């Protein structure tokens, strides 16, 4: 034990002196105030719940710190986390506490704006919803659309109860028929159309477009 304590003693003393020197320089610098945008991270939302509105994704953090530190700071150096653990369906105004803000050593937290974050939580539900094909363009002259089929015709959509129940159809990416003269088949993605909703499982569907010649052509 003694050999471990005395080994490289000079190096340890120099390291300690250097650390103390840096600390003295930092505390001796003039401190400035500056505001930084910082991403807001929500965590702990129960698996059976979903957000019923898009919350703010960043806040403004005002710090007091030595000028050298402030000049080197980026948004990635500051973390703001809002804990939703244990919340039940309802509307909340959740305060942003100082212990939820992570800042660099030697910086002083002055304010966080906004001070509260509105959050609406609803039960998460899953529902089968019909798929609507978004067709764009017109076929060549003398050609008409005889039919459009999509497989599967429904997909499962998950999200907050109110948003899911309000949806009657979900649309595909655009399927262009411009300048076509023959029937064709293509695969496209299904879009939920709402950032609060997500398509569960495979988001790709197969679209079959039946084109035929107009009579007399």
Pairing mode, strands 31-43 and 79-83: parallel
Residue 114: CB partners within 8 Å, gap ≥ 6? Answer: 56, 59, 96
C-alpha 167/C-alpha 96 separation (Å) is 33
Highest mean pLDDT among 23-27, 65-69, 82-86: 82-86
CA distances in angstroms from 100 to 8, 48, 104, 115, listed in the order given: 41, 24, 13, 12
For the chain, the C-alpha Rg in angstroms (whole number) is 29
Taking the model in full, what pTM does it have?
0.72
- C-alpha span between 40 and 82 (Å, rounded): 7
Residue-level pLDDT at 4: 45
- Consecutive H or E run containing 162: helix 161-166
Prior bond to 53 cis, omega within 30? no
Model confidence pLDDT, tens digit, residues 35-83 = 888 999 999 999 999 999 988 889 999 988 888 877 777 767 888 999 9
Domains by residue range for the chain, with CATH: 29-114 (2.170.120), 125-213 (2.170.120.40)
For 86: left if phi > 0, alpha if psi spans -120 to 50, otherwise beta; the answer is left
What span, in angstroms and rounded, lies between the C-alpha atoms of 76 and 101?
Answer: 12
pLDDT in tens, 100-144: 999 888 888 999 999 999 999 999 999 999 999 999 988 888 888
């Amino acid at each position: 034990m003694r050999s471990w304590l005395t080994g490289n003693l000079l190096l340890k003393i120099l390291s300690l002196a250097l650390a103390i020197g840096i600390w003295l320089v930092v505390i001796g610098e003039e401190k400035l105030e500056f505001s930084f945008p910082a991403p807001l991270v929500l965590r702990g939302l129960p698996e059976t719940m979903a957000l019923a509105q898009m919350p703010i994704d960043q806040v403004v953090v005002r710090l007091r710190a030595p000028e050298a530190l402030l000049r080197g700071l980026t948004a990635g150096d500051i973390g703001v986390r809002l804990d939703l653990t244990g919340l039940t369906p309802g509307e909340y105004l959740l305060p942003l506490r100082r212990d939820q803000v992570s800042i660099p050593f030697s910086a002083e937290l002055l304010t966080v704006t906004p001070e509260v974050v509105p959050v609406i939580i609803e039960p998460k539900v899953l529902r089968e919803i019909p798929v609507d094909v978004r067709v764009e363009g017109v076929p060549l002259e003398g050609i008409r659309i005889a039919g459009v089929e999509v497989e599967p015709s429904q997909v499962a959509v998950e999200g907050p109860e109110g948003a899911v129940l309000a949806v009657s159809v979900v649309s595909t990416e655009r399927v262009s028929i411009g300048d076509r003269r023959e029937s064709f088949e293509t695969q496209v993605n299904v879009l939920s159309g709402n950032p609060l909703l997500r398509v569960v499982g495979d988001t790709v569907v197969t679209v079959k477009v039946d084109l035929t010649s107009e009579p007399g052509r």
